[in-house]
Amino acid sequence: MPPRVRRSPSGRIPQWAIDEAFGRLEAPAPWRGVEQQPARKRPWSRRRYRSPLRRRRFLTMLGVALVVCLYFAPSFVSRVVMPFAAPYLPGATVPPPGYEAAPAPLGTPPAGTGSTAFVLQDVPDGDQPFAAYDPCRPVHYVARPDHAIPGGETLIREAVAAASAATGLQFVDDGTTTESPADKRKAFQPDRYGKRWAPVLITWSTPQETPGLAGDIAGDGGSNYVQAPGQPLVLVAGQIRLDAPDLAGILAGRPDGAAQVRAVIMHEWGHVLGLDHVDDPGQLMHAENKGLLDFAAGDRAGLALLGSGPCVPQL
């Protein structure tokens, strides 16, 4: 007679009952009203044994990596992190990079004249032949109207047009300012000019305000050098200081007084853009103007070269 098995209320014969009837279980399982489920096994642990030797090696390598990171961290922060973050921090001494930077030069310098009668200003980096304004962004300038001579604004505008034609650089007149001339002018003045490099400052000054204009000096001019990490030197934030009493006398006492004053301003723009004095008296950049009223061939050759400087959007 075959073994008898019990059925569940649903009519199905649970597996545990079949196993019990045929002796497959060591002990009968009690009736629970539902089908008996096989016990679940504990999942196999994936944890592996790590020998003390391997653990010591791992800790040693971790310690070495930590020491290396601590050693190079100051260099990384000073060379990479700080140059990038500095313009955006409170009290920054440089503006955020790329202000008004275009992907290509805004103008084209004229062809060289072939003359070598020009001298480029020396730059601190001996491997760099010259420093110039970034041709991919405009050169801004402002003028302080104090002590201005009659028609001075027009003469400045005409001198700027001559410098632009000789270099291909584009200039922007930002109007007037109250800033005074200074021997050590700050290149970044965010409270006055916003978060950009300060514009070229043109002032009608006096020997009392600017002692460097004493004697027969009708004006002086120059620019600051700046450099982004790994990039060439670039000129920014120039300054022209004009001897207003001296130039007022030239304007009133000579038939070509206005043209003479304009030539003085053009000469100082040459210094701002990167030219130095030359020995050739036939050039406007000669230290003592001998009646020249316009840039000569050497001046134009040097200015055309300065108009072809590198674009540096990192500044």
Q: What is the pLDDT of residues 5-46, one digit of tens each?
A: 455 555 556 665 556 555 554 444 444 444 444 444 444 444
Six-digit token pair at 307? 């108009």
Q: For residues 68-78, give the mean pLDDT.
A: 53
Whether 97 has a pLDDT exceeding 70, the answer reads: yes
The two tokens of residue 232 are: 């060439």
Res 48: pLDDT: 46
| 106 — pLDDT class (breaks 50, 70, 90) | very high
DSSP 25-77: SSSPPPP-SSPPPPPPPPPPP------HHHHHHHHHHHHHHHHHHHHHHHHHI
At 115-134, the pLDDT tens digits run 999 999 999 877 899 999 99
Distance of CA 199 to the CA centre of its chain: 16
Residue 232's nearest CA partner among 81, 307, 130 is 130
- Other C-beta atoms lying within 10 Å of the C-beta of residue 188: 19
Q: Is 244 helix (H, G, I), strand (E, B) or coil?
A: helix
Give φ, ψ of 19 to 5 degrees.
-60, -40
What does the alpha-carbon distance between residue 224 and residue 163 come to, in Å, rounded to a whole number?
Answer: 18
Q: Is 70 exceeded by the pLDDT of residue 50? A: no
State the amino acid at position 292 in one-letter form: L
254: pLDDT confidence band, cut at 50, 70 and 90?
very high
Between CA 304 and CA 285 the distance in angstroms is 14
Mean per-residue pLDDT of the chain: 83
pTM recorded for the entire structure: 0.73
CA 178, CA 33: separation in Å to the nearest integer? 97
Could you tell me where the beta strands, DSSP code E, fall in the chain?
Answer: 139-144, 171-176, 200-205, 219-226, 234-243
Which of 76-80, 108-112, 259-263, 297-301 shows the lowest per-residue confidence on average (mean pLDDT)? 76-80
- Its CATH class, for the domain covering 139-306, is alpha beta
Rg (CA), the chain: 40
Q: How far apart are CA 293 and CA 314, in angstroms?
A: 38
